[in-house]
Structure 1
Amino acid sequence: MTIRRYLNQRLKLHQLRALEAIVAQGSLLRAAAVLGISQPALTRMLQELEEVTGQRLFDRLPRGVRPTEAGMMLAQAARRILAELRRLDEALDRISDPEGGTVAIGTLPVAATGVLPGALTRLTAEHPGIRVRLEQGRTEELLPKLAAGEIDLIVGRLYEPAMPDGFPREPLWEEPISIIARAGHPVFEEAEVTLETLRRYDLILPTVSQRVGQEIENLLALLSLEPSSSMRSSSYGFIREMLLATDMISVMPRLMMAGDMLRGVLRVVPLPVPAPQRPAGLILPRGRPLPPAGHAFVACLRAHVAEIGERGLAAITGRHMGGRENNRTAARPGG
């Protein structure tokens, strides 16, 4: 028997926001805190939603909740509906302020600390009316949001997808794992940097998970640098201060320190072995054009990446997985 739910008449936007928050947080308590309402009020809202849909939307677990098939289906629709409303809101803003608008950017961690600040500084200077929404995460976390229209594009490392996903990928630069040291470090006085040279200095390493961390570990193994004697920190600021104040060296994607290298206070140490290529750039939406603010951001990103390339900090590429960065060239000050 077919149930007439009349969702177009009975569903309310605040219910969709509540459902999205519960799925995202995996807990009624945390979702209530995010929404700024009490947990009993959120529970009543969920009960109303289950009554409207005629479906159980979540399974209760010892700690938190897990969406059922119906709950996940409704959450995905909620994301699309709310994203469409955000885009409508932004389109109406553009009517009143053609030079303004909003761009929603998903960013991977390395890009967030590396190329993005310079690109956004340029965007603010050239287009002061544009607003920016940033969301940081891993590629697998950001792609569903790109598909749903919650973000306009993704900036960062371009990993090959396990399966074709239809998202256009546009490589713009290479961000190799590199050895980083302060500009006045004794290592730059060496006629040739060897593995023995590198082993004289203590390491300060970023605490990063997933694929970036594995790539750092792979290069450490390739160089036979002993990670057990290293110091590790998840704080970009702490690593920076230790590099500037001591003779420690670091191993990381070099553009994590792009600002300091552009200012000339940190430099890339030439590696005695080739570094694996690491293309980075844009992941764009499927079948949906960028908003005008998105095009303005991409233009500023290209200009900033070109400046980084001119300073010798990164190879500029137009081919996905193309070219090999070898770190062999002695970096200029700031390069």
Structure 2
Amino acid sequence: MRNRRYLDQRLKLHHLRVAEAITNQRSLLKAASVLAVSQPALTKTLQEVEEILGQRLFDRLPRGMRPTEAGGVFVQTARRILAELRRLDDELERIADPAGGAVALGALPVAASGVLPGALSRLKRSHAGIRIQLQQGRTEELLPLLAAGDLDLIVGRLYEPALADGFQREPLWEEPISILAHSAHPIFGLDAVTLDALRRYDLVLPTVSQRVGQEIDFLLDLLGLEQASSLRASSYGFIREMLHATDLISVMPRLMMAGDLLRGTLRVVPLPVPAPPRPAGLILPRKRALPPAAQAFVEALRAHVREIGERGITAITGDDGRAGKSDRTREDGTP
């Protein structure tokens, strides 16, 4: 008969926080800094929890700490418990202040600069007391946070997972790779935009993730646009200013500049060149209901996306639940 560990009586919350911090930081020193404790104190707490569990939780490597199999199981449970406590805190605050609450959003870069500002502005008008916690990152960085309960949902490009991962993906709009220019650009005065006309203008291009970069390069190669003399920048603000102030053109996911497209200061060059579909929308946990604040955000996002679709800027999800096609760079977003 195995010995009982009596974990419910012996484990404390700081044991869970220490294990989570070491896993996240991969270093005792960095974890101690995050938790605002000394490294000897953190090491003592780790020894305590390993003694309680009767298992070694981390392997000490030359370049940091790596969870053992037991450590991985323990940290996974610790994250769920800490996430539930955070949700309890939010729920109690919602009861105390029914108009408040918080939503923890994960956002991919294009969505963060594109549809999210308009959706959050709409949310603030209807639910001024809701607090927003936003974390931007790549899909592979955000999914573990969604699984652990640190995020309520993720907004952005819906990449097909290599393996089933247990998350619900709901397409709401398309993020086609498009050609953008300021609304008074000479190219819009032509009877028809030709490839030769397009090649007369220099480019300003975003420095983006590898996957988006490959899709941009594909369209550039298809059009025969010269990249050697192009400007490249990681700052969307810089690209935006260059598009407004010069006759440079850009190739990027169209909704990266959603606000300017809605205001009419930027336009999509209506060149009928095939572009692969790029569905975007929500990634949601299957077994966890959204808190009221997150539900309010989703309603605001849907309303904002509907406005974008009604303005002809991009395709939105059809009634059949599939994302509408947007396989051309035409200004109205239709095939």
TM-score tier by shorter-chain length is over 0.9
Aligned to 1:116: 116
Structure 1 residue 329, shift from structure 2 partner: 4.0
Amino acid at match of 1:253: P
Counterparts of 1:225-264 in structure 2, within 5 Å, are 225-264=225-264
Cα 1:76–1:327 change in 2 (3 A) is: same
Counterparts of 1:151-230 in structure 2, within 5 Å, are 151-230=151-230
Cα 1:230–1:39 change in 2 (3 A) is: farther
Aligned CA-pair RMSD: 1.9
Aligned to 1:79: 79
Aligned to 1:301: 301
* 8 Å Cα contact 1:103-1:293 kept in structure 2: yes
Query: 1:216 & 1:296 partners in 2: Cα distance?
Result: 34
Q: Residues 222-271 of structure 1, C-alpha deviation per residue, up to 9 Å, x if partnerless?
A: 22222222221111111112222222111111111111222222221122
Cα 1:320–1:33 change in 2 (3 A) is: farther
* Corresponding residue SS for 1:19: helix
Structure 1 residue 89, shift from structure 2 partner: 1.0
Query: 1:136 & 1:247 partners in 2: Cα distance?
Result: 31
* TM-score, normalised relative to structure 1: 0.92
Aligned to 2:268: 268
Query: 1:21 & 1:273 partners in 2: Cα distance?
Result: 49
Cα 1:184–1:36 change in 2 (3 A) is: farther
* 8 Å Cα contact 1:216-1:252 kept in structure 2: yes
Matched, 1:104 2:94: no
Amino acid at match of 2:31: A
Structure 1 residue 123, shift from structure 2 partner: 0.7
Query: 1:239 & 1:40 partners in 2: Cα distance?
Result: 48
Amino acid at match of 1:323: K
* 8 Å Cα contact 1:193-1:272 kept in structure 2: no
Aligned to 2:18: 18
Q: Which of 270-279 and 122-131 deviates more?
A: 270-279
* Corresponding residue SS for 1:228: coil
Structure 1 gap ranges (5+): none
Hey, which bits of structure 1, 4+ residues long, moved more than 6 A? none
Query: 1:120 & 1:203 partners in 2: Cα distance?
Result: 31
* 8 Å Cα contact 1:147-1:286 kept in structure 2: no
Structure 1 residue 86, shift from structure 2 partner: 0.9
Matched, 1:323 2:325: yes
* 8 Å Cα contact 2:99-2:129 kept in structure 1: yes
Query: Sequence identity, in percent?
Result: 72
Structure 1 residue 276, shift from structure 2 partner: 1.4
Counterparts of 1:56-75 in structure 2, within 5 Å, are 56-75=56-75
Q: Residues 262-285 of structure 1, C-alpha deviation per residue, up to 9 Å, x if partnerless?
A: 222222112241221111111222
Query: 1:139 & 1:259 partners in 2: Cα distance?
Result: 23
Q: Residues 137-176 of structure 1, C-alpha deviation per residue, up to 9 Å, x if partnerless?
A: 2222222322232221111111122222332222111111
Q: Residues 9-29 of structure 1, C-alpha deviation per residue, up to 9 Å, x if partnerless?
A: 222212211221221122222
Structure 1 residue 100, shift from structure 2 partner: 1.6
Aligned to 1:311: 311
Amino acid at match of 1:57: L
* 8 Å Cα contact 2:181-2:247 kept in structure 1: yes
Amino acid at match of 1:328: R
Aligned to 1:28: 28
* TM-score, normalised relative to structure 2: 0.92
Structure 1 residue 61, shift from structure 2 partner: 2.6
* Corresponding residue SS for 1:283: strand
Query: 2:275 & 2:281 partners in 1: Cα distance?
Result: 19
* 8 Å Cα contact 1:106-1:154 kept in structure 2: yes
Q: Which of 300-309 and 239-248 deviates more?
A: 239-248
Amino acid at match of 2:229: S
Query: 1:299 & 1:327 partners in 2: Cα distance?
Result: 28
Query: 1:262 & 1:148 partners in 2: Cα distance?
Result: 36
Cα 1:53–1:281 change in 2 (3 A) is: same
Cα 1:324–1:313 change in 2 (3 A) is: closer
Number of aligned pairs? 331
Structure 1 residue 37, shift from structure 2 partner: 2.7
Structure 1 residue 330, shift from structure 2 partner: 6.3
Q: Which of 139-148 and 102-111 deviates more?
A: 139-148
